[in-house]
Structures are given as structure tokens and as C-alpha cells.
């Protein structure tokens, strides 16, 4: 029998993915936590966020509290912020190998493990928060996500959403698509790949370095999340042009993932507790972002004289076309990514048709009156 260490080493290599995903990963008895026998389980939850970071870190705290209270104290959860147990980008491996039982993160951080992870977080010109929830729960998304993460010894759940983000802070106005040429911008993930295609110099900086880099002119622009978190970072003090919409992250899904053995060893009621706690967190974080963004946007405009600007139609069209070509080419790299993209793309087409008459329709109607 393979040892757990050998098994995890193999699973972490990521090379296993593709057409044949590992069914054996969920095998029990490979040295995972003991089957629940009535004792209190002590779980570690490690996150990619700084401890207590607004909406994200506090959202992870909420997830821990929910698991603890819904389980009647049968699962105790300790929360570890970025760097406290492992560094932010070590969370995936830590939970996969069982150093912690639970992680809270965003799936696009793990694109180095597999390109398809990005579809479960945010895709440029992709799905908004409610559409992501709909795709995951009713469009086949969650099944694909589960299949992907099983090969890394993890059980995934959607557990939060930032809602539609902002396009970012720019020291100079963006009047045409040519203005992206040579622009030095902090923008991670697929959005960064798209801007690179349009001639920008793309940099990735951790959150803590963004403000100073923008203020000193080391970078010309940055995106972060939305008004609530951007205001907290003081980004309005470093640049005044605040662009919308956040084409790069229309509804970034946050995730919780559980070590597969830890999850499988739970009795069915505690499995349901974990799922319910993640669902509650999913709703809570999105609601918090929506409420706080509303307030923070007004503060930015009226108190800090931020210039709110919309990317022009020709710019959005160019960004959309580049996004389509980048995302399609990434999806064509392997058989599993192809399956995920096919499912996602089909759902996006339907979402566009329904969204136009639903949220889009009511948005236009409200604008006529209010």
C-alpha cells in the first residue's frame, strides 16, 4: 500500500490531470483523520487573506463560527490568516496534505496546479455572482470542480463572492485601447493576460505593496476589488480615475475546501453542516460586499472627489475580444479544461439572454425613473 506521503506527492504534482482524473484520491484509510467517534474534532482553517481582513478574513471567521455552532461544538475550528500557519499561496497544499483540514481562498490562485481552476473563481467577461452560483449548483459547475479537486485530495465548496469588481485605478485617463500600450498595471490572473495581449506591462503585487507602488508611480494603474476594500487601502490617494465595469472579475467566487479524508470521515450530519456553513458564508460575504460597496462608492465620489469613469464601448469591445481569445486558448490546452470551458461557455450564453431581460432589464427601467 502506498504511504500517504507518496500519495500526496503524486497528487500535488498536478500532472495527473487531463482526461483521466484520479478516482482513487478519495480512498479512505490512507492515514487521514480518524473516523468520528463522538469526540470533538479540532480543525484548522487556513486562509489566503490577512487575519480579519474586511469581508474576506472576517468571512473566513464566519465560516468557522458557523461550522462550530451548527455542529453543536462537535467541530471546533481555529482560523489562521496569511502567514500564520502557511503563507497565502501554501494553503492549497497544506489542506491537500492534511496540515490543515480546511482552506478559504479563491480558486484562480491555483492555476499553477491546473489552468481549469480559474473557471471556478473569475473569468474576464464571464459570469456575475448570481450566475456563478447558478452555474455551480444547477449548471454542472460544482460537479466539475469536485472532480478537479478530488485529484488534489480536496472537497470544494463555493463560500463567498466579491460581486462585480471595479475596473481599477488609473493615474491617467484611458481614452482609447491604445492607452493600454506600455501601461504598467497590477492586475493578476486572466485579466492580466488580456492586458498583456493589448500591450500593457502586467505586474503582480501582493495587496500590501499596491498603494505605495501606485503613489510612487512605479505602476500606472491597479485593480484590487471594489469600493469597500479599495477605500480601506486608500487607493484614491494615489490615483483619481476610477473605472468601471470590472470586466476582469464580473463576480469572483471564493472557495472553501476540505481535506478529502477529513471530509469523508465525517458522519452524514456533519457533512451537511460543512455544506450548510459554506452556503451561509457564500451568501453572507456577497451581501456584505454589496452593502459596503454601495456606501464606500458614495464616500469615494463625494468625500474624496474620485472621478468615476466608464470604459468606452470601443475599449470594452477590444477587452472582450482579447478575453475571448485568451480564455479559449487556455481552455484548449487540455481535455479537462475543454470540458469545463464548454460547460461555462454554454451557461454564459444562456445567462446573457436571461440577464438582459432580468437584471439588465430592471436596471434600465430603474434608471428611467430614479
Taking CA atoms, 142 is separated from 22, 52, 147, 208, 235, in Å, by 17, 28, 8, 32, 35
Cα separation, 93 vs 104, in Å, equals: 12
**Cβ closer to Ca ion: 62 or 109?**
109
**Cβ closer to Ca ion: 93 or 249?**
249
31's grid cell: 492515514
For the segment 306-365, give every residue that binds Ca ion (CB under 5 A): none
Q: Which segment (92-100, 129-137, 217-225, 295-303) binds Ca ion by CB under 5 A?
A: 217-225
Structure-derived torsion over alpha carbons of residues 335, 336, 342, 347, reported in degrees to the nearest 10: 180
- Name the 3-class secondary structure at 39: coil
Query: What is the closest distance, in whole angstroms, from the C-beta atom of residue 223 to Ca ion in the complex?
Result: 5
**Cβ closer to Ca ion: 41 or 306?**
306
Contact string (CB under 5 A) for Ca ion, positions 29-68, x = contact: ----------------------------------------
CB 202 within 8 A of CB 329: no
Contact string (CB under 5 A) for Ca ion, positions 248-287, x = contact: -x--------------------------------------
Cα separation, 34 vs 294, in Å, equals: 46
Cell numbers 482526461: residue: 19
Strand pairing class (41-47; 75-80): parallel
**Cβ closer to Ca ion: 32 or 126?**
126
Query: What is the closest distance, in whole angstroms, from the C-beta atom of residue 61 to Ca ion in the complex?
Result: 21
Query: What is the closest distance, in whole angstroms, from the C-beta atom of residue 225 to Ca ion in the complex?
Result: 5
Contacts made by residues 83-86, CB under 8 angstroms, sequence distance 24+: 84/46, 84/51, 85/44, 85/46, 86/46
For the segment 130-189, give every residue that binds Ca ion (CB under 5 A): 165
Cα separation, 162 vs 254, in Å, equals: 8
**Cβ closer to Ca ion: 164 or 282?**
164
For the segment 219-248, give every residue that binds Ca ion (CB under 5 A): 223
**Cβ closer to Ca ion: 102 or 105?**
105
CB 75 within 8 A of CB 41: yes
**Cβ closer to Ca ion: 47 or 165?**
165
**Cβ closer to Ca ion: 32 or 189?**
189
Q: Nearest to residue 249, comparing CAs of 352, 122, 121, 109?
A: 122
Q: Nearest to residue 116, comparing CAs of 283, 342, 287?
A: 342
210's grid cell: 499596491
**Cβ closer to Ca ion: 131 or 223?**
223
**Cβ closer to Ca ion: 262 or 306?**
306
> Which residues have CB under 8 Å from 315's CB, separation 6+?
174, 176, 177
Query: What is the closest distance, in whole angstroms, from the C-beta atom of residue 224 to Ca ion in the complex?
Result: 6
Query: What is the closest distance, in whole angstroms, from the C-beta atom of residue 188 to Ca ion in the complex?
Result: 7
Number of neighbouring beta carbons within 10 Å of residue 360: 12
Element (H, E) at 59: helix 57-70
Number of neighbouring beta carbons within 10 Å of residue 309: 16
Query: What is the closest distance, in whole angstroms, from the C-beta atom of residue 189 to Ca ion in the complex?
Result: 8
Q: Which residues bind Ca ion (CB under 5 A)?
A: 165, 223, 249
Amino acid at each position: 500500500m502506498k504511504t500517504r506521503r507518496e500519495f500526496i506527492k503524486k497528487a500535488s504534482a498536478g500532472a495527473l490531470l487531463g482526461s483521466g482524473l484520479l478516482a482513487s484520491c478519495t480512498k479512505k484509510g490512507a492515514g487521514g483523520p480518524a473516523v468520528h467517534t463522538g469526540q470533538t474534532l479540532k480543525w484548522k482553517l487556513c486562509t489566503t487573506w490577512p487575519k480579519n481582513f474586511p469581508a474576506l478574513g472576517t468571512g473566513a471567521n464566519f465560516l468557522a463560527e458557523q461550522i462550530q455552532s451548527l455542529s453543536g461544538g462537535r467541530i471546533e475550528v481555529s482560523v489562521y490568516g496569511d502567514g500564520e500557519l502557511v503563507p497565502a499561496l501554501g494553503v492549497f497544499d497544506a489542506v491537500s496534505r492534511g496540515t490543515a483540514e480546511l482552506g478559504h481562498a479563491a480558486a484562480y490562485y491555483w492555476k499553477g496546479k491546473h489552468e481549469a481552476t480559474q473557471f471556478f473563481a473569475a473569468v474576464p467577461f464571464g459570469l456575475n455572482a448570481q450566475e456563478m452560483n447558478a452555474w455551480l449548483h444547477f449548471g454542472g459547475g460544482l460537479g466539475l470542480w469536485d472532480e478537479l479537486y478530488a485529484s488534489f485530495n480536496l472537497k470544494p465548496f463555493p463560500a463567498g463572492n466579491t460581486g462585480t469588481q471595479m475596473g481599477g485605478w488609473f493615474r491617467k485617463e484611458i481614452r482609447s485601447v491604445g492607452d493600454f500600450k506600455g501601461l504598467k498595471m497590477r492586475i493578476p490572473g486572466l485579466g492580466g493576460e488580456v492586458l498583456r495581449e493589448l500591450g500593457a506591462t502586467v505586474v503582480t503585487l501582493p495587496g500590501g505593496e499596491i498603494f505605495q507602488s501606485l503613489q510612487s508611480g512605479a505602476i500606472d494603474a491597479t485593480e484590487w476589488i471594489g469600493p469597500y476594500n479599495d477605500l480601506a487601502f486608500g487607493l484614491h490617494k494615489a490615483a483619481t480615475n476610477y473605472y468601471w465595469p470590472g470586466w476582469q472579475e464580473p463576480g469572483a467566487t471564493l472557495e472553501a475546501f476540505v481535506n478529502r479524508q477529513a471530509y469523508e470521515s465525517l458522519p452524514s450530519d456533519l457533512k451537511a453542516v460543512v455544506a450548510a456553513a459554506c452556503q451561509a458564508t457564500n451568501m453572507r460575504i456577497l451581501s456584505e460586499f454589496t452593502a459596503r460597496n454601495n456606501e464606500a462608492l458614495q464616500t469615494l465620489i463625494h468625500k474624496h472627489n474620485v472621478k468615476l469613469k466608464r470604459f468606452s464601448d470601443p475599449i470594452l469591445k477590444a477587452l472582450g475580444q482579447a478575453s475571448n481569445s485568451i480564455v479559449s486558448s487556455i481552455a484548449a490546452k487540455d481535455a479537462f479544461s475543454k470540458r469545463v470551458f464548454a460547460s461555462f461557455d454554454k451557461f454564459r450564453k444562456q445567462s446573457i439572454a436571461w440577464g438582459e431581460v432580468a437584471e439588465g432589464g430592471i436596471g434600465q427601467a430603474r434608471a428611467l425613473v430614479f
